[in-house]
């Protein structure tokens, strides 16, 4: 495979704005990397779609984006899309693909009580992929799961400048805590890239004794590893955010994306 030109971007893909939590640490490691951030607002929320729908939708849309932007690497910065469609995307596209999976392995390494919570979308928490991760890395431990579509909506609203309803956060936490063994839980995996956008609200609701973890830093390191030795531009250039057209969801103000290095917004 030929070395990509310096201006070949990294493509980040998510249903919405959650993948910004992966983009942030990646920019810290690769500060001059050109960025295309794609949000499938026409398909949001992914957590309520069927596996079959996502297995068809995600590779088709990524194929269009790869053709248009010619990235050196694509990141599916979405747990739901990764757990369902990652193998389909890798089969369809001829470039490196990095997926996002729930951080159950590091959670199992740091829990002292042996009880781990997994907070994700409804689609992610029901996946056999999560069963497999739990069996491989958390054998003998209790893994509690809770799906919260409301948190995805709240995270999106927060980046649109709206207030987060504390009741939404409280319901998600209670959904984990009220399960058998939930009172002993000491680590919660944020198994949706949207949820670290609500880190402060979630931590305040769950208390200081429970650790919240996600996989974003590990994904950023993986991206840096896969692009090691490649050439990058000498200077930082503003990234582009691309939104699929939706009657229900308008793109956020550019000011909300600027801290992530986004300089313009496009719709497709």
For residue 70, name the pLDDT band (cuts at 50, 70, 90): very high
169-208 confidence digits (pLDDT tens): 999 999 999 999 999 999 999 999 999 999 999 999 999 9
Q: What pLDDT was estimated at residue 17?
A: 96
Residue 13 — φ and ψ, nearest 5°? -130, 135
Average per-residue pLDDT in the chain? Answer: 95
Active-site choice (39, 119, 192, 241): 192
Share of the chain above pLDDT 90, in %: 92
What are the helix (H) ranges across 93-181? 104-110, 122-125, 128-137, 149-159, 166-177
Res 3 pLDDT > 80:
yes
Active-site choice (23, 78, 202, 205): 78
d(CA 154, CA 159): 9
217-267 confidence digits (pLDDT tens): 999 999 999 999 999 999 999 999 999 999 988 999 999 999 999 999 999
Q: What pLDDT was estimated at residue 48?
A: 84
Stretch 46-69: mean pLDDT? 94
The Cβ-side half-sphere exposure at 93, using a 13 Å CA radius, reads 27
For residue 42, name the pLDDT band (cuts at 50, 70, 90): very high
DSSP letter (8 states) at residue 196: G
Res 68 pLDDT > 70:
yes
Cis ω before 45 (30° cut-off from 0): yes
156-172 confidence digits (pLDDT tens): 999 999 999 999 999 99
Per-domain residue ranges of the chain = 10-100+217-267, 104-214
Q: Does the active-site annotation cover 103?
A: no
Res 1 pLDDT > 70:
no
Give which of 150, 145, 159, 253 is closest to 191, Cα–Cα.
145
Q: Does the active-site annotation cover 238?
A: no
DSSP letter (8 states) at residue 195: G
Q: Which architecture does CATH list for 104-214?
A: 3-Layer(aba) Sandwich (3.40)
- Common-topology check for domains 10-100+217-267 and 104-214: yes
The CATH fold of domain 10-100+217-267: Rossmann fold (3.40.50)
What pTM did the predictor assign? 0.94
Neighbours of 131 (CB within 10 A): 12
């Amino acid at each position: 495979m030929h070395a990509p030109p310096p201006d070949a971007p990294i493509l980040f893909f998510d249903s919405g704005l959650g993948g910004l939590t992966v983009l942030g640490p990646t920019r810290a490691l690769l500060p001059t990397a050109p960025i295309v951030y794609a949000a499938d607002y026409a398909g949001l929320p992914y957590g309520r779609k069927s596996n079959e729908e996502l297995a068809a939708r995600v590779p088709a849309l990524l194929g269009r984006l790869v053709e248009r932007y010619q990235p050196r690497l694509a990141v599916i910065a979405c747990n739901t899309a990764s757990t369902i469609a990652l193998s389909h995307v890798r089969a369809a596209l001829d470039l490196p693909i990095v997926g996002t999976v729930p951080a159950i392995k590091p959670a199992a390494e740091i829990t002292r009580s042996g009880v781990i919570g997994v907070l994700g979308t409804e689609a992610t928490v029901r996946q056999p992929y999560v069963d497999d991760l739990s069996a491989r890395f958390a054998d003998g431990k209790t893994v509690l799961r809770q799906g919260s579509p409301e948190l995805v909506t709240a995270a999106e609203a927060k980046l649109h400048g709206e207030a987060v309803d504390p009741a939404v956060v409280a319901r998600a936490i209670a959904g984990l805590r009220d399960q058998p063994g939930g009172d002993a839980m000491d680590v919660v995996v944020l198994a949706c890239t949207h949820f670290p956008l609500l880190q402060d609200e979630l931590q305040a609701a769950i208390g200081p004794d429970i650790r919240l973890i996600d996989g974003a830093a590990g994904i950023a390191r993986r991206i840096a590893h896969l692009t090691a030795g490649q050439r990058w531009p000498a200077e930082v250039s503003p990234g582009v955010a691309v939104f699929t057209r939706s009657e229900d969801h308008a793109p956020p103000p550019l000011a909300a994306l600027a801290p992530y290095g986004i300089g313009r917004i496009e719709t497709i």
